[in-house]
Amino acid sequence: MFMKFLLTVAVVALIWFGFRFAQRLAMQKPAPREPADSAAKPKPRFTPEPDGESVRDLVKCPICHTWRAPNLGPCGRKECPQ
């Protein structure tokens, strides 16, 4: 009975110290660097136009399960209600 307890404690201690060792290695590893080209360029950002045409509400078709703008009409399938 005592040997089972010691074995359990040893396994838990091995896992604990292994995890701490892995964390220490991960913290020492340098962060990946981005190339200078991508760091200098600003990332593209979506800005909606004031007229509202660039942003539309979409509706889901119950038959074909696609999301479409209501003013686009049917998707081309004969059973599509839009």
User: What pLDDT is attached to residue 56?
Assistant: 73
Q: What are phi and psi of 18, to 5 degrees?
A: -65, -40
User: What pLDDT is attached to residue 23?
Assistant: 93
What string of DSSP letters covers 46-76?
----TTSTT----EE-TTT--EE-GGG---S
Each residue's pLDDT tens digit, 51-82? 766 677 788 887 778 888 777 777 777 777 65
> 58: closest CA among 46, 70, 74?
70
User: What pLDDT is attached to residue 54?
Assistant: 64
Written as six digits, the tokens of 27 are: 């913290």
pTM of this prediction?
0.36
